[in-house]
C-alpha cells in the first residue's frame, strides 16, 4: 500500500502539440522544445527519470535506463486553461469549454458589477497583466476605478493598487464578481491582481483566484472522504474552490511552494500532497520568456534531487502539467499540448506507458495507489507500474 502521493504540476509544461491543436491556433506548439532550444536546460534528475524518453519528445538526452515510469497524456476536455486542466487531472472532464470574452464583458455584466461595488470600471478588454497596470494604473490611482480585463482564457481579472484598494477589499470585489459571473457568463476564474509601487507598478504576490466549484466529486473528495488528507499547495485550493482540500498553503510562487512541498514531505500524513508551480506559466510562458522558463525548470530540477533522496519507502512522486504555454509561440495564450507524466517511487516499475487519452489517468491511478474507492473519469495504470 502506498501511504503518500506527491503530485506536482509544472504549470504549462507541455511536450508538443496535440492532434487538434490547429483548432486552437496552436499548430507546432511545443513548450519543452522551446525551452530546450535556448541551450540552457540542465535537467539531470528529470532526464534520468525518463523525461526525454516520452512519446513525441524528439530531443537528445534519452535515458538508457529510466528510473521512473513515464508517459504523455492528451486532454479530453474542450479547453486549454488552468481550471479545465486541473479538474481533468482530478478526474473531471469538462465537455463544454468555459466562456471567453475576446471583446470584453457585456454591458449588463459591467453595470451590475459597478453597481454592486460602487466603483467604476476601466479597460474591460483582453490585455497583458503587466501592460494593463502600466497603461491604466495612473487613472486607477487618480479615480479609484477598478481595472477589469480578460485574456484568451476564461477569466475576469481585477487589478488594483494596494494603497487605493486594500487586498481584502479587492478579494471582496472578486467574490461579488464570482456571484455575478454564472450561467452564460460563468468564467472559469475571477482573479484578484493587486499591484503596488510607482508607475509602471509591479504586481504583488497576493494574487487570489476565485474558481467555480467543481460540479461533481473529484479525486480530492474521494481521498478526503476516505479519511486521508489532501494538502493543496499554491493555487490548488483556489482552483477547486476549496472542494476536497482539507489543508492548504496558498502562497503563490515556485520558490515558496517548492519549499512548502519539502516541508510537507518531512511531516507525517497519509494521502495526497498536490502542488501547483505557477511561475512557469504566469512569469515565463505568458511573458514569452523562453530563457526564464528554462532557468526555472533548472531550478526545479535541482530542488528535485533533494526531494527524491528524502522520499520514504511508501511514497510516490508524480510530476506532470495542466496544458502548454509555449514561450516561443505567437500571442500570449496557453497552447493545446500533450502533458508529460513521470511517476517515481521504490514500488514503481520504470516502464514506458506510451500515450494515453485523458488527464484523468492521473486521478484514477492515484486512487488505486492509495487504495481509495471512488468514481472518476480516467483509466488507472496502477497495475502496469506497481512492483
pLDDT of 331 strictly over 90: no
Residue with cell 476549496: 242
Residue 154: the pLDDT is 93
pLDDT of 364 strictly over 80: yes
d(CA 162, CA 90): 34
pTM of the model: 0.92
Residue 275: the pLDDT is 98
d(CA 351, CA 321): 20
H or E element, residue 124: strand 121-126
Percent of the chain with pLDDT over 70: 100
Residue 152: the pLDDT is 84
CB of 93 closer than 8 Å to CB of 83: no
How many other CB atoms sit within 10 Å of the CB of residue 195? 24
pLDDT, tens digit (0-9, with 9 covering 90-100), for 24-80 = 999 999 999 999 999 999 999 999 999 999 999 999 999 999 999 999 999 999 999
pLDDT of 339 strictly over 80: yes
Structure confidence at residue 332 as a pLDDT band (50, 70, 90): confident
In CATH, 4-95+215-385 is 3.30.1330.60: no
Alpha helices in 241-381 (DSSP H): 254-265, 279, 290-309, 360-370
Residue 8: the pLDDT is 99
pLDDT of 249 strictly over 90: yes
Class of domain 107-211: alpha beta
Q: What is the grid cell recorded at 339?
A: 502533458
Residue 157: the pLDDT is 98
CB of 271 closer than 8 Å to CB of 316: no
370 Cα distance to chain centroid: 23
d(CA 248, CA 230): 8
pLDDT of 83 strictly over 80: yes
Paired sense of beta strands 69-74 and 339-344, if any? antiparallel
195 backbone dihedrals φ, ψ, rounded to 5°:
-140, 170
Residue with cell 472532464: 93
d(CA 362, CA 375): 13
CB of 380 closer than 8 Å to CB of 368: yes
pLDDT, tens digit (0-9, with 9 covering 90-100), for 177-234 = 999 999 999 999 999 999 999 999 999 989 999 999 999 999 999 999 999 999 999 9
Residue 14: the pLDDT is 98
Structure confidence at residue 243 as a pLDDT band (50, 70, 90): very high
pLDDT, tens digit (0-9, with 9 covering 90-100), for 129-187 = 999 999 999 999 999 999 999 998 899 999 999 999 999 999 999 999 999 999 999 99
pLDDT, tens digit (0-9, with 9 covering 90-100), for 298-326 = 999 999 999 999 999 999 999 999 999 99
DSSP 320-343: E-SSB--TTSSSSS-B-B-EEEEE
In 71-93, which positions are buried (b, 16+ CB within 10 angstroms) versus exposed (e)? bbbbbbbebbbbbbbbbbbbbbb
d(CA 340, CA 330): 22
pLDDT of 1 strictly over 80: no
How open is the CA angle 273-349-17, to the nearest 5 degrees?
Answer: 70
pLDDT, tens digit (0-9, with 9 covering 90-100), for 268-304 = 999 999 999 999 999 999 999 999 999 999 999 999 9
Going from N- to C-terminal start, the domains of the chain cover 4-95+215-385, 107-211
d(CA 92, CA 241): 14
Judged on CB neighbours under 10 Å (0-12, 13-18, 19+), 173 is buried
Residue 303: the pLDDT is 98
Amino acid at each position: 500500500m502506498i501511504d503518500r502521493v506527491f503530485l506536482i504540476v509544472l504549470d504549462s509544461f507541455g511536450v508538443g502539440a496535440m492532434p487538434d491543436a490547429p483548432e486552437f491556433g496552436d499548430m507546432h506548439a511545443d513548450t519543452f522544445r522551446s525551452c530546450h532550444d535556448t541551450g540552457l536546460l540542465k535537467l539531470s534528475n528529470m532526464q534520468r527519470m525518463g523525461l526525454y524518453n516520452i512519446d513525441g519528445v524528439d530531443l537528445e538526452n534519452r535515458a538508457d535506463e529510466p528510473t521512473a515510469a513515464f508517459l504523455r497524456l492528451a486532454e479530453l476536455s474542450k479547453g486549454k486553461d488552468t481550471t479545465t486542466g486541473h479538474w481533468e487531472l482530478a478526474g473531471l472532464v469538462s465537455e463544454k469549454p468555459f466562456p471567453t470574452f475576446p471583446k470584453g464583458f457585456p454591458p449588463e455584466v459591467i453595470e451590475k458589477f459597478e453597481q454592486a461595488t460602487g466603483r467604476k470600471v476601466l479597460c474591460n478588454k483582453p490585455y497583458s497583466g503587466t501592460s494593463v497596470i502600466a497603461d491604466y494604473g495612473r487613472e486607477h490611482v487618480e479615480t479609484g476605478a477598478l481595472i477589469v480585463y480578460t485574456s484568451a482564457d476564461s477569466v475576469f481579472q481585477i487589478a488594483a493598487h494596494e494603497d487605493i484598494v486594500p487586498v481584502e477589499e479587492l478579494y471582496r470585489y472578486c467574490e461579488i464578481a464570482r456571484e455575478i459571473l454564472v450561467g452564460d457568463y460563468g468564467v472559469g476564474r475571477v482573479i484578484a491582481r493587486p499591484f503596488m509601487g510607482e508607475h509602471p507598478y509591479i504586481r504583488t504576490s497576493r494574487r487570489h483566484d476565485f474558481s467555480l466549484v467543481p460540479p461533481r466529486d473529484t479525486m480530492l473528495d474521494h481521498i478526503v472522504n476516505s479519511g486521508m488528507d489532501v494538502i493543496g499547495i499554491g493555487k490548488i485550493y483556489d482552483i477547486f474552490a476549496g472542494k476536497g482540500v482539507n489543508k492548504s498553503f496558498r502562497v503563490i510562487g515556485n520558490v515558496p511552494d517548492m519549499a512548502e512541498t519539502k516541508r510537507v514531505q518531512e511531516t507525517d500524513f497519509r494521502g495526497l500532497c498536490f502542488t501547483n508551480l505557477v511561475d512557469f506559466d504566469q512569469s515565463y510562458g505568458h511573458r514569452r520568456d523562453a530563457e526564464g522558463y528554462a532557468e526555472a525548470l533548472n531550478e526545479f530540477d535541482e530542488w528535485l534531487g533533494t526531494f527524491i533522496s528524502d522520499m520514504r519507502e511508501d511514497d510516490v512522486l508524480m510530476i506532470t502539467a495542466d496544458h502548454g504555454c509555449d514561450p516561443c509561440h505567437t500571442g500570449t495564450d496557453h497552447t493545446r499540448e500533450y502533458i508529460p507524466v513521470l511517476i517515481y517511487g521504490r514500488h514503481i516499475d520504470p516502464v514506458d506507458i506510451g500515450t494515453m487519452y485523458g488527464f484523468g489517468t492521473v486521478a484514477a491511478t492515484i486512487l488505486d495507489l492509495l487504495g481509495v474507492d471512488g468514481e472518476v473519469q480516467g483509466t488507472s495504470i496502477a497495475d502496469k507500474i506497481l512492483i
